[in-house]
Structure 1
Amino acid sequence: MADAVEDVASKVQLDELLKSSPIVIVKFYSNDDESCRQIEPLYQALASQIGRPRLLVFAKVDNDTCQDLVQEYGITVLPTFILFRKGTLMHTVQGANSAELRNVIGKIVSELEHLVEGMGGEGGPPEAWKGAEIPKGYGDVTDQVELRGCELLNADDNAGPVKVLFESSKPSALGLGKSTATDWVQSGSDDQLLLFIPFQSTIKLHTLQITSVIPQGNTDVSRPVEIGLFLNRTSNMDFGEAEDAEPTQSITLEPEHWNSESTASISLRFVKFQKTNTLTIFVQQGDGEADAVRIDRIKLIGEAGAKRDMGKLQKLDDDE
């Protein structure tokens, strides 16, 4: 059973693994940590049961001997499980949380099953779900989001974490008739949300795609209607500041903007968004009289630039 998990001893080895396998799950551990020892049998069992060579790979990194990787991924809790899809960090599970680990891996396995069915059982990278068509000449740059730096204010505690907004998988509420997992977020005390998104590189942002699936018969939540976008803030705003500040672009979404995939594709003032280091999305108001507003996915379309140092964010003018 031990052979089911690949030992990673260097950054070069991990980088090669991320290039060769579309889905990689990495456990950071220490042999001296009791929590790591307790969850190891479960991790080994999952690797044996669902691991697939060059498709879904389970790996582990010794926290005591690979300090370069520990620092690169900001490991502060043991064990920590990091899940990569096509080389991009998608999920992090901290601690010996077997329920959360099973839940996250379960979602990936579901995607994997669809992939294998569509390819007649052959391996290969999963196709990302499209909520709307991507404008010609541009690409999906959602993988440039620095997930660890994202912050969502006024989120309902019972909804999913902010990182689910940037998943490439199809929202569970679409095609199933109802949500079977908390892969969406919604507001808590009222119908406002403030989302701060830092990027790994300076990007040219062309289009913002927002998916909001309202379960049939649910009148307690609504889709966003009034949205303000702010550029290159060094941290999240508070609601009072967002109300008073002049946004880089204001958006009003009408019912006809939402397609059959519950996605609105918003064209941005491309000249304004040529040098985007961070984006703040202020959902100021939802539709109708609902007490909360819901978002299932956010996709960012444009062009990515060179990666930058996330510790040296500088506040830039909106007009730059």
Structure 2
Amino acid sequence: MSSKIVHIESPQQFSSLLSSSRIVVTDFYADWCGPCKAIAPFYEQLANSLSRPNHITFTKVNTDNQRDIAQTYNITAMPTFMVFKNGRETQRIRGADPKALDAAVKSLASEAESSSADGSSSSSGTWIGASLPRGYSDITDSVDLLNLDFLNVDSEAGNARAVFNTAQPSAISKSSSAAGKDWIESDTDEQLMMYMPFQSSLKVHSLHITSFPTEGDDDVVRPRTLKLYTNKSNVLSFDEAESIPSTQDITLQESDWDAKTGTARVDLRFVKFQNVTSLVIFVAEGEGEGEKTRIDRIRIIGETGEKRAMGKLEKIGDEQGE
């Protein structure tokens, strides 16, 4: 097998590659599949000639060993080839079709070469820290940035808009942000209250939350316990959030955080997030004993609906949050 083909051993590894490489080509196969074996040498040849670090990466996923990944992308036939650009599926080829595979991959390879020549990279587009579920997209641009309202944010860190920055977090690139700190931290304790109105009604499938605790500072930690509230007309006070029912409570474990991208994918009870005009995220607890919770990025994953007229949000009855 070619050393340029990355064999995927876990969902976390796959998620990291989708974030770090601008284009990812994936061969979903099975050891018992005859057509998979027949096209494997051709796929290896493509990988040898077209692989480019951080620009185009060829991977293989054994569907018997990585059932979670196969289920996430609804793989029902082998082989299936998928092409991802900036973490999003752009093409799917079912069956051992060398001509279709060759055309798809070479077209993207040419695009990657062109992008490299003009100095762009995956970090110049919208950065995401985890893989996208099939059929859904990054809809973070639906957030109404002008009307954000965050409570208990340290003034010496970034402002509320920092977490919606489309660029790769400076904690990964090890570079300074031109706009200052591109993350937020809580102030007096580990709690944060984040009110996010949307420009249209959304169906929210999941959240990507990125957090890089500051090296050498045990007081800065990742969020652990989250409470989500939908369709509120304004930010909640901390006392109010503790006294009313949440739409969903989430407890993040250490294993939920991807080591490379610092991102946890938070899957939601989709039926409860079907017509969402605003979202409040209450970080009730951070990890361990730290007193400052840090968040570098938040991504909203789902589907957009009809645009609404901007202005004061209509308050929806609390029964939707029960």
TM range (shorter): 0.5 to 0.7
**What residue in structure 1 maps to residue 62 of structure 2?**
none
Contact 1:232–1:316, Cα closer than 8 Å, also in 2: yes
Which whole-Å CA distance do the structure 2 matches of 1:216 and 1:313 have between them?
40
Which whole-Å CA distance do the structure 2 matches of 1:117 and 1:157 have between them?
41
Contact 2:207–2:298, Cα closer than 8 Å, also in 1: yes
**Residue 168 of structure 2 corresponds to residue 170 of structure 1:** yes
CA 1:117–1:167 in structure 2 vs 1: closer, same or farther (change >3 Å)?
A: farther
**Residue 147 of structure 2 corresponds to residue 149 of structure 1:** yes
**What residue in structure 2 maps to residue 60 of structure 1?**
none
**What residue in structure 1 maps to residue 215 of structure 2?**
216
Which whole-Å CA distance do the structure 1 matches of 2:114 and 2:215 have between them?
29
Moved segments of 4+, more than 4 Å: 115-118, 122-125, 177-180
Give matches, 1:21-170, under 5 Å.
118-121=115-118, 126-170=124-168
CA 1:303–1:287 in structure 2 vs 1: closer, same or farther (change >3 Å)?
A: same
Question: Offset of 1:118 from its aligned partner?
Answer: 4.4
Which whole-Å CA distance do the structure 1 matches of 2:114 and 2:290 have between them?
40
Q: CA deviation digits over 1:101-149, x for unaligned, max 9?
A: xxxxxxxxxxxxxx99943017899422121111110011100000011
Contact 2:128–2:299, Cα closer than 8 Å, also in 1: no
CA 1:116–1:314 in structure 2 vs 1: closer, same or farther (change >3 Å)?
A: farther
What SS class does the counterpart of residue 310 from structure 1 fall into? Answer: coil
Q: Number of residues paired by the alignment?
A: 206
In structure 2, what residue type is equivalent to 1:314?
A: E
Which whole-Å CA distance do the structure 1 matches of 2:307 and 2:176 have between them?
38
**What residue in structure 2 maps to residue 189 of structure 1?**
188
What TM-score do you get using the length of structure 2 for normalisation? 0.60
**Residue 281 of structure 2 corresponds to residue 277 of structure 1:** no
Which whole-Å CA distance do the structure 2 matches of 1:270 and 1:225 have between them?
21
In structure 1, what residue type is equivalent to 2:145?
A: L
**What residue in structure 1 maps to residue 310 of structure 2?**
310
CA 1:254–1:248 in structure 2 vs 1: closer, same or farther (change >3 Å)?
A: same
What TM-score do you get using the length of structure 1 for normalisation? 0.61
Question: Offset of 1:177 from its aligned partner?
Answer: 8.3
Which whole-Å CA distance do the structure 1 matches of 2:224 and 2:207 have between them?
14
Which whole-Å CA distance do the structure 2 matches of 1:290 and 1:272 have between them?
32
Give matches, 1:280-295, under 5 Å.
280-295=280-295
Which whole-Å CA distance do the structure 1 matches of 2:131 and 2:281 have between them?
21
CA 1:218–1:306 in structure 2 vs 1: closer, same or farther (change >3 Å)?
A: same
Contact 1:178–1:215, Cα closer than 8 Å, also in 2: no
Query: Structure 1, unaligned stretches of length 5 or more?
Result: 1-114
CA 1:200–1:177 in structure 2 vs 1: closer, same or farther (change >3 Å)?
A: closer
Q: Percent identity?
A: 42
Which whole-Å CA distance do the structure 1 matches of 2:246 and 2:283 have between them?
12
Q: CA deviation digits over 1:4-50, x for unaligned, max 9?
A: xxxxxxxxxxxxxxxxxxxxxxxxxxxxxxxxxxxxxxxxxxxxxxx
Contact 1:142–1:301, Cα closer than 8 Å, also in 2: yes
**What residue in structure 2 maps to residue 106 of structure 1?**
none
Contact 1:206–1:270, Cα closer than 8 Å, also in 2: yes
Contact 2:132–2:301, Cα closer than 8 Å, also in 1: yes
Contact 2:212–2:296, Cα closer than 8 Å, also in 1: yes
